[in-house]
Amino acid sequence: MPSVWTILLALGTAWGLAMAVVIILQRRSAAATIAWLLVLVFVPIGGLAIYRFIGPLRLERKKTRRRRTRQLVAEALGAIRALDADSSHGEHSELARVGINTGEAPPLRADSLELYTDGASAYAAIVAAIEAAAHHVHLEYYIWEPDHFGCRLLELLAKRAKEGVRVRLLLDAVGSHRLRRRHLHLLRDAGAECAWFNEVTLRVFRGRRADFRSHRKIVVCDGRVGFTGGMNIADAHTAEHSGDRAWRDTHLRVVGSAVRALQRTFVDDWYFATERLPVAGPEYFPPRETAPGGRIVQVLASGPDDAIFPIHRAFFTAINTASTRLYVTTPYFIPDESILTALVSAALRGVDVRLLIPRRGDSRLIDLAARSYLLELLQAGARVFEYLPRFIHAKTMAIDDSLAVVGTANLDNRSFRLNFEVAALVFDEAINDALARAFLADLAEAKEFQPSDLSQAPFLSRLGQAGARLMSPLL
């Protein structure tokens, strides 16, 4: 009769083989596959719990639903072809074609663009746009805190709803978990509509993925004025309430036809969350009024519902087309092999590649993983800086003299493949220059890494970085 240890060994082997088959059949990247196998084999019980909530469980079913959602929205609005007819991308056609061929909106014209590098000015502009709205206000946020500004903005939205403006607020159920349902009663009582994106449940067979998140920050007023960028709704972004610790972030205001692409992204997500189409008239997609010669903006949306990953492909292409300078700011730098290779190659061919990351993020594990990638960049000739005064949350790129990227996507696997993100590719010299000047101002308060800072770091620090890198596909 076999011993208890023999039985346990057999069960453990069977478990490992079964999980290996499940993970391999997911056909994820080799790094992600190996990382999941390590977790599930060496930490079977805890690993199964982690896999249950953030692994690839039932992702295909959700992908199918998201694809159907986008199809229904496109059929109802005719939005994709309408946007195509409005396109004008000229000299930017090579990069623009990447987004278009992945199903995203083409470059569209904007009457005006405004860049904000502090929360006070960005929030003031958002408040002004909401106060001026005559027909509707659509908002989608990952984090909405019930703090001073968060409550003030809820009160303003309730006021506008009572005045007859159609207000719709879509919140991520994980990122905005501090916002209790009682906070939304004010809005609903005023006639506004509120919805949660992908609420997490604990049901064994029908539970939802905890990491299937909308990381987007979108405001659309009357289909003509839009905002996106890194700023959530939180006092952490304003010096008025957070003082010197206020997060350094970047946001973008767009006026004109380009807002239609932000509107379509919101409509997609609203329909997915509510199964209600929130638009029924030209007021939501107003006819083009932008005069020729306006600035050019291409809005890209990306998420785990589409294996093409438009933002990842656009970033990869943009980095590879850089010829003179590439200034990158990201709070989470955990690139996959393709993005890392693109950055290294850009540095090797003489592009002025500079990367700015926070000295300390909100996760020690992510900080360790990020630093494991820096030595290869430095050895290729890139320059890397850590921002010292406070947390830098901006997600931007200034490429050459005429391309600027402002959005919600970090340079990490979660943004590229797991979260729903949005990014604005701005083909404009003035915005590029403003973003580059803001970047250089940030470098004045940053410390530059030297290769020796990493290669000669204490053994335990280097070991921690290497270990964290093994987990980077899951972060």
User: What pLDDT is stored for residue 204 in this prediction?
Assistant: 44
DSSP 8-state code for residue 417: I
Which position has the higher pLDDT, 226 or 457?
226
Least confident of 37-46, 172-181, 200-209: 200-209
- Whether 312 is a known active-site residue: answer no
Quick one: pLDDT band at residue 6, thresholds 50, 70, 90? confident
Secondary structure of residue 2 in the 3-state scheme: coil
For residues 439 and 433, give the distance between their C-alpha atoms in angstroms, rounded to a whole number: 10
Cα angle 102, 267, 81 (rounded to 5 degrees) comes to 50
Question: Which tens digit of pLDDT belongs to each residue from 309-356?
Answer: 999 999 999 999 999 999 999 999 999 999 999 999 999 999 999 999
Quick one: pLDDT band at residue 121, thresholds 50, 70, 90? very high
User: What pLDDT is stored for residue 69 in this prediction?
Assistant: 63
Unique residue bearing structure tokens 């946020």: 141
User: What pLDDT is stored for residue 32 in this prediction?
Assistant: 61
Catalytic residue among 89, 138, 215, 237: 215
Catalytic residue among 62, 89, 136, 217: 217
Query: Letter for the amino acid at 4?
Result: V
Question: Which tens digit of pLDDT belongs to each residue from 202-226?
Answer: 544 444 445 678 999 999 999 999 9
User: What pLDDT is stored for residue 354 in this prediction?
Assistant: 98
Q: Which residues of 86-118 are buried (b: 16+ CB within 10 A; e: fewer)?
A: bbbbeebeebbebbbebebbbbbbbbebebbbb
Catalytic residue among 172, 367, 400, 412: 400
For residues 288 and 258, give the distance between their C-alpha atoms in angstroms, rounded to a whole number: 10
- 283 has a pLDDT exceeding 60: yes
DSSP 8-state code for residue 144: B
Catalytic residue among 62, 251, 312, 395: 395
- 41 has a pLDDT exceeding 90: no
Mean pLDDT of 248-271: 94
- Whether 241 is a known active-site residue: answer no
User: What pLDDT is stored for residue 451 in this prediction?
Assistant: 81
- 1 has a pLDDT exceeding 80: no
For residues 223 and 277, give the distance between their C-alpha atoms in angstroms, rounded to a whole number: 15
Catalytic residue among 269, 312, 393, 428: 393
- Whether 453 is a known active-site residue: answer no
Segment (H or E) for 37: helix 30-42
What domains lie within the chain, and their CATH numbers? 4-57 (no CATH), 60-95+108-296 (3.30.870.10), 310-474 (3.30.870.10)
For residues 460 and 429, give the distance between their C-alpha atoms in angstroms, rounded to a whole number: 45
User: What pLDDT is stored for residue 205 in this prediction?
Assistant: 43
- Whether 222 is a known active-site residue: answer yes
Q: How many CB atoms lie within 10 A of CB 342?
A: 20
Question: Which tens digit of pLDDT belongs to each residue from 45-72?
Answer: 555 555 555 555 445 555 555 666 666 6
User: What pLDDT is stored for residue 366 in this prediction?
Assistant: 78
For residues 265 and 268, give the distance between their C-alpha atoms in angstroms, rounded to a whole number: 5
Closest CA to 299 of 368, 361, 218, 234: 218
Instruction: Please spell the DSSP secondary structure of 387-416, one letter per residue.
Output: E-SS-B---EEEETTTEEEEES--EEHIII
User: What pLDDT is stored for residue 198 in this prediction?
Assistant: 82
- Whether 215 is a known active-site residue: answer yes
Q: How many CB atoms lie within 10 A of CB 445?
A: 13
- 113 has a pLDDT exceeding 70: yes
Q: What pTM was estimated for this model as a whole?
A: 0.85
Mean pLDDT of 354-374: 84
User: What pLDDT is stored for residue 244 in this prediction?
Assistant: 86
Catalytic residue among 118, 222, 249, 305: 222
Secondary structure of residue 179 in the 3-state scheme: coil
Sign of the Cα torsion 140, 336, 98, 209 reads negative
For residues 342 and 271, give the distance between their C-alpha atoms in angstroms, rounded to a whole number: 36
- 9 has a pLDDT exceeding 80: no
The pLDDT mean for the chain works out to 83
User: What pLDDT is stored for residue 180 in this prediction?
Assistant: 79
Sign of the Cα torsion 92, 378, 35, 175 reads negative
User: What pLDDT is stored for residue 42 in this prediction?
Assistant: 61
Instruction: Please spell the DSSP secondary structure of 192-238, one letter per residue.
Output: -EEEEES-----TTT---TT--B---EEEETTTEEEEES--BSGGG-
Give percent above pLDDT 90 in the chain: 56
- Whether 249 is a known active-site residue: answer no
C-alpha distances in angstroms, 392 versus 48, 268, 362, 386?
34, 30, 11, 9
C-alpha distances in angstroms, 132 versus 163, 171, 285, 432?
12, 23, 17, 28
